[in-house]
Structure formats: structure tokens, C-alpha cells
Amino acid sequence: MPPARAFPALALAAALVIAAAPQREPAPEIDSIRRDELRADLFFLAGDGLRGRLTDTPENALAADWIRARFERLGLAPAGPGGSFYQPYHLATATLGSANTLEVVRGDTILRRGALQDFYPHRFSGSGEVRGEVVFAGFGITARDRGYDDYAGGAVKGRIVLALDHEPGEHDPASPFDGVVTAQASSPLWKALAAQDAGATAILFVDDVHNHGEADRNFEREARGYWPGREPRIRSFMLGAWVDRLRIPAAQISPALAAVLVGGTGRSLEELARSAETTRGFAPVPLPGATVRLTTTVERHIVPDRNVLAAVKGGDTALASEWIVVCAHFDHNGADGDTVYPGADDDGSGTVALLEIAEAYARAAAAGRRPRRSVLFAAWNSEERGLLGAWAFTERPTVPLDRIAAVLNMDMIGRHEEVPAGGGARFRGLELQTAESNRNAVNVIGTTRSADLKAAIERANRDIRLELKYRYDNNVSNLMRRSDHWPFLQRGVPAVWFHTGLHPDYHTAYDRPEKIDYEKVERIARLVYQASWDLANADARPALRGETSAAR
């Protein structure tokens, strides 16, 4: 592009247009969002006394109580069920029962296996005994919103399904799902629910060997890692609302055992797996000559959990039933003896910003300035365990999902993205970069789903002048699905994540409050407040990709 000085007339015209443009009014009380208050709050929330706020610990409960008290002191309305600031829900953990066996009969050959030997039940598996023929169903995915269904060809009712791990086109940025981001429909639990809905009596999973058939993989070692002999410090949690729906057995089997099952087709497991790489779905293939008898016993244990919700009600009678959600998660990874994982950036930074934004709204409302739409302030729990608090909300929302105009999520907004050489798998898919190069930068993730939402954020940033980066919506790092905006995108709600990026202290004991850039958190919090205020007062709601604003 030629430099501006080569076109003085055009530059002058552009300057006149800018000067003539109406000045956007800052959101009321935006200056009340202050770095000193952010710092004071974070030194408490990420202090050693709260011991990393791990799910199902007293310290996690204390953090929730503290957030509730802050919301209440601000005069915000409780937004949980029954007039409470809490939204309760159930998580589940699992232990392996004593009766877990798999028997494969093919001709005169009978193979019997116990748990962790060529097979193991999934933690979300139903308990029971089934016997029957087996059908290969490709990747076992149903995603009708993408025009994809591996069960459209039928033939699975009353049978046991064999399905591949992962998804078709997983290395293709133009795949029918989410590019190189792992699609939600490809998660094993969602596949098991899809098989159950199609009438299958059980589901067996196997590696998609054409993509992940590494010769050095050890199935028994993986099985023992999945079901360790002693309870780990951080347990594996599942969303109770999901596992409660699954009744059929679900188990993982080794490629060697799967090769026996598919032997009657005259094709290898790898050949069948490659044939499942389609853009619309796979017609299930019966596996002749083989029957399976599967017994699973998985004991589920209920764990109570809760989000913290507050609201400012909108002042426009025509729009007050619509909502803007501003959110962050307050849990982290706990402590191991005297070693505390404080989670100052992840996500203490987002949580204290949420409190400051909530205070700005409360001060504005007290001064008689309410937004036209209502605003929900959500402090999610158990994000580190799989976005479970946000998923729980989308399962039983306290406000209708189709009345949510936008979700603005803050997770890790207090540092500068830094990807060192030799950083390892935790930085997979990210380019080498220094913290200094990202001093003024914030990643905004999810904007490819809504151009309207992206435009609103850019308008809000005009005076704040952060460097907005849009680089991770289709990246193998999987950042697109690694925070609490993701469940809302899966439910058709425009949602974005403000994220200053990973750094070497991420998920370590060194993610401490003294390392946070509070001036940057202040600016990002002001950006999110301004964007949420503008969205709450706009005439139209943001549209999702592929639809118009009027469609929502």
C-alpha cells in the first residue's frame, strides 16, 4: 500500500471524516474500574490462603462465597434459581467396579479380556451386560447442524457399535466441523449419546489408526493411566446432567482387538478407518462372523457444585428480557502439599475484572443509568475440569439461551503471551513470541462466528487502543474450545473470549498475583465493560455467521 503522504488530498478528506464523526460516549462509571482495586482483590483471591480454589474443596467454596458477598454488597440482583446468587448443579466422578469383562467370539476363536487388558470401560459408561453383533459406524458422530450423520444409514439398532476416536478431517483447516479445532460432537461422551439415540446397545471406541497409529503406543499403559491404582490429586469430573442420560456401556478397545472384530469384512482396520473420512457421514458396515459380550460396572459418585450469578435488570421494557453475559471462572488447580497453584492469571485476573465491571454497572444503575438490555454477571466454577460450570448453565439456563444476545468471557487477561523455544506440548500450535511483543495485545477468540460482535468490540476499543489479535479460531492449539465461551457457541449464542495468551507460568506454582500487569487488566476490563454496555444498548443483536441480525 502506498504511504499516506503520497495522497495528501485523500489524507485530508479522511481527517475531515474522522473529525465530523460523532464521538461515542464512554460507558458510565468506566473510570471506576481501577487497577489498585483489581490488585487488592487478586492478592486475596489468588493468595496462598485459598490454596488454588480446586473444585470440591473448602477453598473453592470460600471463593464462591466471597464473590457472592461482593455481588450482594454492590446491590446487584441475585440471578440464580429461587432468588439465590448460586446456581447449583451436579458433577460426577467414577470408580471402576469389579465386574468388567469383554468376550469376542469369531468362529471357533474366543478371546476373553479383563479390564485394562485390551479394553477398559470409560468413566461415563453405563453399567450392564450386553451381547450381540457389531457394526462399524465410522467416527460415530451425529452433527445434523453440519449436515453430518454416521448413523443415517441405519443398521445399528439392537447392535454394538464400533467407532473411531476423533473426527474426519481433523488435520484439515477446511473440515466440515471446526477446522483443526476438535469439534464438540467428536467427544467420546457425545458419541456415546449419539449411539444410544440411534438404538445401539453399547459402543466400543478404537484409535483412528490411519491418523494416530503410532507404533510405540502402549494400550495397557494408557488403560492404567485412565484408571490409576490410587486416586489422583485432581480427580476427573464429568457433568452430571450428561452422564445421567447415558445408559449403555461404553468402552475403549485396543487396535489389535478391533482388527479381530473387522476381520470378516475382508478389509483391514486401517482401510475401514480411511473409508470413514467423509464430509457427510458414513453408512454403518456390519462386521460379519463376530459377536461381543460386554460387561461393565462403573460406579458413579455425585459431587455438588455451583456457579455464582448476579444481574442488573435492563431499563427498556422492550429489551429488558434480552441479556448480555459477562463472565469469568474462579476455580483453579488447587495445592499439592505446601505447593500452591495460585491461578492468579488463570483465572483470578478475569474474576477480579468481572467484579470491577459489575461494580461499574451497579454504580451506573444507582445513578439512574441502566442499560436497555439486562446484564448477567457469571462467575463459573470448574472450568479447569472441562468448562463444567458453563456447560451446566447451558443445560439448565437461568435465562433463556435464545434471549442471550452475546457472551463476553474473560480468562487469563493479566499477562503477555510468551511462547519460548522448547516450551513443549503445552504450547503446541503457537508461534515463538516474546512477552514484550505482546505487551499491548489481547487475543479475541470466537469472532469468526459473528462479524457483528467483532465490529462492536473494535468500536469499543477505539479510545482504549489495545492491539486486538484474531489468530486462534482455527488453530491446532485448540484455544477456541478451551474456555467458557465455547459451550455458548455450541448452543448458537454469539460468544467471544478475551485472552492475553499462554506463558511459561501457566498452570504452575509461579502464576502469582505479583506477576500480573494490573494496568493491562484495567484496560481490558474497561474494553469489556464498554463493549458490553454498547451491546446492551444497541438496537439490534449481533448475528451469528450465516444469519442476519433479524434472524435472532
- The Cα 177–Cα 150 span in angstroms is 14
Instruction: Indicate the residue type of 419.
Output: V
Nearest residue to 414 via CA among 549, 524, 288: 524
Residues 6+ apart with CB under 8 A from 75: 362, 365, 366
The answer to whether the beta carbons of residues 474 and 517 sit under 8 Å apart is: no
17: Cα separation from own chain's centroid = 42
**What are the C-alpha distances in Å from 505 to residues 34, 113, 501?**
25, 43, 11
What is residue 366's three-state secondary structure?
helix
Asked whether the whole model's pTM tops 0.85, one would answer yes
DSSP character for 183?
P
> Over its length of 552 residues, how does the chain's per-residue pLDDT go in tens digits?
433 443 333 333 434 333 333 446 899 999 999 999 999 999 999 999 999 999 999 999 999 999 999 999 999 999 999 999 999 999 999 999 999 999 999 888 899 999 999 999 999 999 999 999 999 999 999 999 999 999 997 789 999 999 999 999 999 999 989 999 999 999 999 999 999 999 999 999 999 999 997 766 899 999 999 999 999 999 999 999 999 999 999 999 999 999 999 999 999 999 999 999 999 999 999 999 999 999 999 999 999 999 999 999 999 999 999 999 999 999 999 999 999 999 999 999 999 999 999 999 999 999 999 999 999 999 999 999 999 999 999 999 999 999 999 999 999 999 999 999 999 999 999 999 999 999 999 999 999 999 999 999 999 999 999 999 999 999 999 999 999 999 999 999 999 999 999 999 999 999 999 999 999 999 999 999 999 999 999 999 999 985 534 333
Give me Rg for the CA atoms of the chain: 25
Which CATH fold topology does 98-296 show?
A: Glucose Oxidase; domain 1 (3.50.30)
Q: What is the sign, positive or negative, of the torsion defined by CA atoms of 169, 172, 177, 181?
A: positive
Residue spans of the domains in the chain: they are 50-92+303-539, 98-296
- Between 2.40.50.140, 3.40.630.10, 3.40.50.300, 3.40.640.10, what CATH number should domain 50-92+303-539 receive? 3.40.630.10
Cα–Cα dist 502/478, whole Å: 12
